[in-house]
Structure 1
Amino acid sequence: MRLAVEPRRAVATPGTPTMLGVVVTNGSDVISGYVLRVLGADPSWVEIEDPSPRLFPGESVSVGIVLTLPEGIPAGERRVSVQVRDVTDQAAIAIEDVTIDVPALPRTTVSLEPATVTAGKVAGFAAVVRNDGNTVQHARLVARDPEAATTYTFDPDGFSLAPGQSTSVALAASAKRPFVGDPLLRPFELRLEGPSAPPTDAPPAASGVFVQKPLLSRGMLGLLGLLLAISVFALIITIALSSVVGRSAADRDLAIQVAQARQAAAQTGTSTVEGTVIQLSTGAPAQDVTVLLFGAEDPSQPVKTQATGTDGTFAMSDLPAGEYTIQVTGAGFAPTWYPSAAAQPDAQPVELTTGQTVGGLTVVVGGVPATLTGTVTGADVGGAQLTVELPLDVPPLAGVVGPEPGEATATGSTGAVVRTVPIGADGTFEVADLPSPAVYDLVVSKAGFASAVQRVDVAAGEDRSGIQLSLLTGDGSIAGSVSGAAGPVGGAAVVASAGQVVVETVTLTEDPVGSFTLRGLPTPGTYTVVVTAEGFAPATLNLTLTPAQELTGVAVLLGQDQSSISGLVTVPGGDPSGVVVTVTDGAVTAQTVTRSSAPAGSWEVTGLRVPSTYTVTFSRADLESQVLSVSLDGFGNVTSGAPSATQVNATLRAADGTISGTVRQSTTTGATSPVGNVTVTVSSGTTQRVVTTASTPASQVGRYVVDTLPPGTYTVTFSRAGTRPTSTIVVLAASQTRDLSPVLVAPAAISGTVTQGGVVQDGRAVLLYLAAQYGTAAGPVATTTTAADGTYAFQDVSAPEHYIVEVRTTPSGTVLVTSTPQTVSASQQLVVNLSVPTD
């Protein structure tokens, strides 16, 4: 059984399927069934096309494995293993390791609690930062405000968060406090700074408002003015209180009972009012604004107060039946009465009956009015006008309102008009009382000139000045037609840009189909014209207009946006199926496996971007890989890398591997040294190769080489007389050279001590015989002499074997004592002590 997996290393984005190609080959002489599993991955992540294939002898099968990692899995390397087990032989198992690279996907969320704080010189906020990505986030928070008049301090200044972790950062906002007047709104936004922080033009991570109170409010000044009046009326108040004290106990009891009855009624109501607060300028829910409910009996004191949730909703329950009015107020917003009134008398009352729930109320709040001022520059700005528009590609109109079919303006803007103001002779303009916060397009236009567009993001109540707009002469035009391989293309978008000037149109869908005209182009100038259409690759042209030039006859040919390549893989004398074909241009990677039929070895990859250059790799475990560089034009034709414009063919050849190394053996002292005459057996199924390690010359002792091995799984066994054999399973890839240098355990040995009457015997001859040859004409296999302490030793003894140890006065002298037959196992350290009789 042989197993091959491609690729051995793959990039797996969480939530995106990753394809692995597996080829299983039956190397036995019988029909076998196999079971495929992926180890190291949750079963819910894995989908195997055919987990239980059955193969005839010598047959191979290609199985696709789709690995889909879940969202939130940590970034980095993960190792999984593809296991194939032979159903008929439980011991026959093949395993291939695959390295999965999970790319880093940083994602951090920041929430500010509370979003609005009213304070004096310093306001305290708490920012909760959570790492929702799959990699460690090293970052810090920074704050920005449009006036740059506030100082922000963060504690801690920076943080490191593991995936799934969160931390709280204390934010102190401080600014110079006004002495007297109304509270100041100081809006700000929070952003992340760090190696993986979002770009500077990305939306802020969170935003908040510091409502700064003056040292002396207007109410305080009025209160000081009233102190004198309070003093004057003190006597009158004293007299009035004395009359109250004189009231009877019955009157006081009656007043208490009435108050308790009113309080009980307010606490035992069963009605509910629910609704949503949305922002006028953006259509987004208004979070953390205050909703106040006033009863008809006392319209000056709210019955209940509640802050809206993250979705802008509110719900007030346990209300008694009656008539109510609703007010919404919050930092950065003008106080509004339901549904959109500026004063309480103009509010629409809400009538509640007992047990009734009135829901679906919508209160629309507008930001504190903003003001925009600036200057328009140009040769003749008198008579021009400035149009303030809500763009269609950002809230609140994004996805709700679209341009009219075929609509195209010279301004490049098709938003909803909010305000139109004239431009003064000196080029200045002012737009006051704009709803805020909001995103606007400022469009300056004049007959005979090219309109210019500038987008501004206006904060709540912002007074922005210094806006610069340009009015450029637009007396040029570009006209032409757009076509594809099948003919003219209608409805294609044509956009010409040069600096801040952007003019766009669409090609006609009726006679003449595919034609277009771009008017109002300032000249002279060089324009980048981009043509896009669904189902086609975009085309870009650079065109230069001379003064007052009207360029005509521009022909644009659009190619396909996607194409495919296919081909045929041949393997001389082999089966071409199961070859993994990988096509990549660096940004997009597609993979497939060659078919086993109709015709064998054929393949196709679709959905490729064109024009582009792709690297096509052909690989299989038992074949030498081949890499081609293939270029596709805008119509999907192969322009280089293959002899045919429609086919990318490849011929692969077998790739053999090599196993080599140096065998060493340890001694009883723990040292190791190269050893020769070790039998090395490499086997896989019915295939077996046997070599012996070198014993000469000295520099090559222990070396062995087994080459021309087909890719597959092999069992390598090292055996030597007297030593236990050792085996290792080796997975050999195509053209791979594996170094395998084992250390064998110490060989068998026989040792002991010779004594006589308890006294050690020095200088006695000790002879070692094979038990089967003892008493015959065969001599001993080894001879030694006892040391001064009576010990002897025979090292590197062949095993397993049966031996007899004999002690003599001299090697050819009288026999003093003979041991019983001793059995020695491989690598056994046998101890045989002998005692010489005293008589």
Structure 2
Amino acid sequence: MRVHLSSSQLEVPINERASVTVGIYNDTDVIAGYRVTLLGADPSWITTNGNDTAVFPSETASIELSVALPEDFPAGHRPMAVQVESLEDLEEAVTVALDVVVPRRDQLNMRIEPSSVTGGRSTTFGILIENRGNDTVTAALSGTDDEAVVKVAFSPNDVTLEPGESEIVRAETRGGRRWFGVPTPRIMTFSAAGVEPVREGMATFIQKPRVGRWVLSLAGLICAISVFAIVITHSFEQVAENQKQGQALIEAALDDDPTNQNGVATNPGSVAGSVTGPADAPLAGITIELVSLDDVDGVIAAASSAADGTYRIPGLSDGTFKIRAAGAGFSTRWFGGESFAEASEVGVALGEVSEDIDFFLEGRPGSITGQVVAEDPAGAFAVLVRTAESIDGGTDAEVERAEVAPDGTFTFPKVPSPATYEIQIAKAGFTAEPRKIVLAGGEAAQGIEILLREGNGIIAGRILGPVGALGNVTVEATDGMSTITTVSLTTGDLGAFTLRDMPTPGTYTVTFSREGFATASINVPLNDVATVDELSIRLVPALGAIEGVVRTASGSPLGGATITVSGGGITRTTAAASTGLAGAYILDELPIPGTYTVTFNAPGYVAETRAVDLASVAGTSPAVSIDANLVLSFGTVGGTVTAYGLEVAQASVELTNGILTYTTTSADEPTGVYRLAGIPAGVYTLTVVRTGSATWSQLISLTPGEDKPIDVALEPQASISGLIFDDNGGSPIIRPNAIVELYLVDTFPGGSPVQTAIAGADGAYSFFGLAAPNSYVVAIVAAANDPTLVASVLVALLPGQQVTNTNVTVP
């Protein structure tokens, strides 16, 4: 076998797949199968297209070898080899070198712990640098603050990391601080240069003043005590005792560091949990505070709950604390107890997360105040009910009932919150649209107005289907302000419905809907007559249609194509018209609403599938138009065969993939044109052969419906030419009109000549269009009436070779 690659180098970016084409020529006399593997690569990294393909003798197969490398594969050049093994002769194998090039992929991650530190003149941050790329990275660290007053020293300053490695760098920050005042936050920006773009991270260094506010207060107290001591001499001993206590307090204040954050751990601990409220709903924006064990107001750290109710307090030192949660409109809760004294202690360890510190908060009672708008609201009641989605089977829907005052006002002074409610106004002979209220924790909702209208109207009737009364039909009536809904009966008085307590006067749009039927609507006036109870509505099954035209990719109608629709438990098939409106089709009486799959098929074309939604439209049977343009499943290869710019007829053309072979010859008219149609998509070898010319061959890829133009330029045919001389006693002279015969070496002498030529007056002769490679004999005949051969010369001829100066001297 002979093996060649489309390229000796293959670039394979990470997270992408790259391919190389392996060409295998079968130089044996039997059909052979071959298997392709990539030496130096894990089998799971490679795939092949056409492996184990059968290849006929003297034919070429093309196998696509595809490579996808894992994310952690190092960058650079990796020498590998493509090995092709014969399945017929296990000892026959060919190995071809392949240079696999993996481009560099930089991914440098940086994380700073803790994100916020409170300290004095200096503090320490821990910076975790991780190399998630596929090449060695040297990161140079730098740091600065917005005011450029803090100096940063790194240990180490430069970090070299192999792929997958990580290292913690200590960042020592130091800068001047105020003598007096409040703590100063300094926003630190740390950078790691070495990859593009430069990686950056931010942290906060909160610098305490040299002398805090507590120290100033204590100093003032000491001054007051000293003045007091001068004035009140008889209390000297007591004053001296107070001075000792004051000195002790000063020392305690100067040494006070309740958060223990001057020493920063590079692996701090954290606390995490969740906050929920009524109905186990997650609560966002709740403040969770970490408190010292000996001071209920000594908040060490805090965080807010996220939208999903979860929270996390990072950057904590080793210790034991108590935790509370509080938020606007909610009661304060301590973890594990009702008060600070009863709360459970929570331990925090370096490098660990204290999880499941969860809180359930009850909202403080809220209130709802509103106004009923009516000529005479007296006698009405406001009913507060929970919405259907906020209760379960064991909870009463009604929460509270309040009498509406003569001026129309009503109040619910204390209702559970947060919650979602619906306010309903009840008064005999009247109706009102329910009002939905979303009440936040502890909220006092006001300014709610509800319109109360006369509601003695009734709309009633019966709904019929194709075969009688029809139940379970949703009936909805609206006048633009109020909406009332019911369902037709499914037992007893089948199909009957009644809408009661409808505001009058008014005109209502009543809509009737049920799955599988077309929606119907009517207008019903309730003016002088407040009751309409003899309505009869007939619903028809909802049926839709799918229609369109099937064409070829070029836009020509494609009659006879098969169209199949399936979905909703049905499958139907029709054919596109071949006459009249060619290519047109229709599939009707399809239940709606529904989702259907439409498939278009035609012999010799690639099938096409579409998804179609048929929706119910009031009073109509909707039709959806779906046109299809089918692509040929077979391709075509064609072109012109030329040599020296001239068209060549009768050249043999062959297209093969090792299993399928298609042949033709270039035409006499139009000269040199060839065409191979009905070719399945795939990879083929196109070969063109002409007597005396070198064989032309090219690997091509054909897609469905493709008309691939490939023109072929052949090399010139093999030929032999020269001059005929007479020896003339050692002084050769031209021998004009000599008879020259050309023989294959295997048939000389005694055989028939391949060609015969007559030398010209200048003694020149030529033989064209010779089969090669071959060995020929150029022979000279004595005379036209004497076939005796008087001289000859041997010529070896290769395909396309033009041998000139083949001169023959007759003795």
TM tier, smaller: 0.3 to 0.5
Higher-Rg structure is 2
